[in-house]
Amino acid sequence: MMRRGYARAAASCLLLALLAGCKTTENLVKEISGEQTYEGFSGRFIEVAPSRLMKDGGESPMIAAAEALGGRLAGADMTYGLGGKVRRAEGEGGVRVEGGEPLEDYMVRILGTLLEPWREERPDLQVRLTPDLDFRAETDKDGVITVSLGVFLQCESEDELAFILAHEASHALLRHHESNRYNEAQKRLTDITANTLAVVLSKRDSKNADSRTLNLNAWGMVEAYQVMQTTIFDPAWNREQEDEADLLAVDLITAAGYNNSVYQIVLERLHLADERRAAEQEAERKEVEKRITAVMESGHVVEGFGMALNQMFKAPTAIVGHVVAEAGSDHPSAEGRENNLTGYVVREIDTLGDSAALPLRVDAYEKQILHGKGGKLLAKHVYVQRAGVLIEEGDLAAARKLLLGLLNGPKDTNAVVRYKLYQLYEKEGSPDKAMANLELAAKDRRAPVKVFTALIEAHGRNGDWQRALAGLDAMDARFGRRRGNLPLRLEFLLQDGRLKEAQQVMTECRASQNRDTVAGCNAAWSQHTKPSMRKASL
């Protein structure tokens, strides 16, 4: 009896030590004390940064053990955006804007200057310009920094752009993808061990009242730990990585002779972009809800349900091209990041102060974005954006004039302009013209995912299942086969009566082991194979 008591106590202590140990305690203390990242070191960050680098990222025994127990760690797959970590949709790598080379070269030149003071190993960095008009920049695990056209349009000086590039490059220089993977390995091993210990404790003499209390305590501890993991440890980890990238960015732009006070502007722009994005998403959600409710209320309950179901199927493809699942509420706030940077710069004001007195490089920046090929590219996107606003406002004639003026003749396949013309003609009620423009847009080798999504949906609406499937094939050929498209493919095949191919897709769905994909495929399958449908098909 006594020995059992000791064993339970020992197991409990081990569980407690495990849950409270490692990096988590450090994060907890930081979170509770409100300590800023810059307070964890003295002097300039660029001087202490090498000591904070992950030395054995890919080779760590901890990573090997975690992967052996639970499969591949996804930690390194995260993309570092300006606002924090983001998980990209499957196959989404950011379409490169056509004709963006002059602006990409400009960014490469800035990056070259920024990296000069970095004495540690430099990853192979690449720069890619995307047609996104949102304020967005990201770094992926391969060192590809994507910067949206929106960044160029909103920024007003080279200093701002330099800070953004420096921040993104810093994630790569600081090997955050590696440390992220290490952190995930640590978390996985803790979870597995804690769960195993909790199971062991819960199996001991469950009839005994003391043991039952202990069981509850063990599971309670594990549950509490998991709650703390998502609410405290993960956000603290993410915040620290963003703070580190900010701190190094300030040091890099200072060394390169830029005005380092621009971090304030960039973070403010980021905050505005976040607000705008949230408002747009909310408006979009309300619009879809309104349409479904309207159909339901008109008595077409089945059709309304079908729309809701379609919306569910469409979701994986419709949102490709955007961030699917941002790290959510654990994104470090722009205000918190600004406080950290201001605290740091003010503490190191003797060496960092003079940089903030320098004139901003506005002329050099305007030369790049207003003139030459780069200027032409940006102007085209601004006018297309303007046409979009005119379409929304209902001034279709003005929008048409603007868009047609941007094309080089009737054979021009420019996807950005053609897609906007498609939206215009849809609103105008000219489906043939709309479709013609969409098909031209799909011929553009740089056409984004949304062009294919719209094309597939349009064919689906017309009941032209073969062309809808051809659209899906073209999309897969361009962007790689995506499991998120499987429910839609299944739906079209079933609609077209191609049962054998549908069965193959169903098998592919199940093999994907993705919950959403499997659920989508099951729903499509059951809808099309219900008795009435079977009867009709017979």
Partner 1 sequence: MGYFKQASAAVGLALWLVSSAQAGEAVLVKAYHPDGEGRVLAYDDAGKRIGKIPVGTLPKPEFEAAGYDARSRRVKVHAADGDVWLLAIQVETSVRVHDKTDCDLIKNMSLKQAGKSSSDGAPRIVRGLGDGGCR
Per CB under 8 A, residues contacting partner 1 are 153-154, 259-262, 264-265, 268-269, 272-273, 276, 342, 345-347, 349, 353-354, 356-360, 362, 366, 370-372, 375-376, 378-380, 382-383, 385-390, 395, 398, 402, 405-406
CA atoms within a 13 Å half-sphere pointing along the CA-CB vector of 442 = 27
Cβ proximity to partner 1: between 385 and 527 the closer is 385
What Cα–Cα distance (Å) separates residue 278 from each residue in 272, 274, 281, 450? 10, 6, 5, 20
Least spacing, CB of residue 133 vs partner 1, in Å: 9
How is residue 202 annotated by DSSP?
Answer: H
**Nearest distance, CB of residue 425 and partner 1, angstroms:** 19
Closest by CA to 241, choosing from 180, 302, 158, 304, is 180
List the beta bridge partners of residue 325. Answer: 87
Minimum Å gap between C-beta 146 and partner 1 is 21
Exposed, middle or buried, 428 (CB in 10 Å: 0-12/13-18/19+)? middle
Would you give the end-to-end CA distance of the chain in angstroms? 71
Of 93 and 102, which has the nearer Cβ to partner 1? Answer: 102
> Is 156 or 516 the residue whose CB approaches partner 1 more closely?
156
Q: How far is the CB of 130 from partner 1 (least distance, A)?
A: 18
Report whether 496 contacts 465 (CB < 8 A).
Answer: yes
The closest alpha carbon to 506, from 489, 527, 529, 528, belongs to 489
Residue 394 CB, nearest distance to partner 1 (Å)?
A: 12
- Of the pair 91, 343, the CB lying nearest partner 1 is at 343
Output 315 or 404, the one with its CB closest to partner 1: 404
Cα–Cα distance for residue pair 508/492, rounded to 1 Å: 15
Taking alpha carbons only, the member of 409, 408, 404, 405 closest to residue 421 is 404
Question: Which of residues 271 and 481 has its CB atom nearest to partner 1 in the complex?
Answer: 271
Q: How far is the CB of 407 from partner 1 (least distance, A)?
A: 11
For residue 397, which phi and psi values (nearest 5 degrees)? Answer: -65, -45
What is the widest separation between alpha-carbon atoms in the chain?
90
Write down the least CB distance from residue 388 to partner 1, Å: 8
- Residue 384 CB, nearest approach to partner 1 (Å): 9
Q: Kindly state the helix (H) or strand (E) to which residue 148 belongs, with its residue range.
A: strand 144-148
Both tokens of 89, joined, read 């949709």
Distances (CA, A) of 296 to 222, 282, 392, 461, 527: 45, 21, 26, 18, 18
Residue 82 Cβ vs partner 1, minimum distance, rounded to whole Å: 14
Nearer to partner 1, 93 or 353 (CB): 353
- Provide the residue type at 198 as one letter: A
For the CB of residue 335, give the shortest distance to partner 1 in the complex, in Å. Answer: 12
* C-alpha span between 271 and 333 (Å, rounded): 8
User: Toward partner 1, which CB reaches closer, 148 or 453?
Assistant: 148
Which one, 33 or 408, has the nearer CB to partner 1?
Answer: 408
The helix-helix angle for 263-297 and 334-347 (nearest 10°) equals 180
User: Nearer Cβ to partner 1, position 318 or 356?
Assistant: 356
Q: Give min distance, CB of 350 to partner 1, in A.
A: 9
| Structural contact between residues 114 and 256, judged by C-beta atoms closer than 8 angstroms | yes
DSSP state of 147: E
Q: Nearer to partner 1 by C-beta: 46 or 458?
A: 46
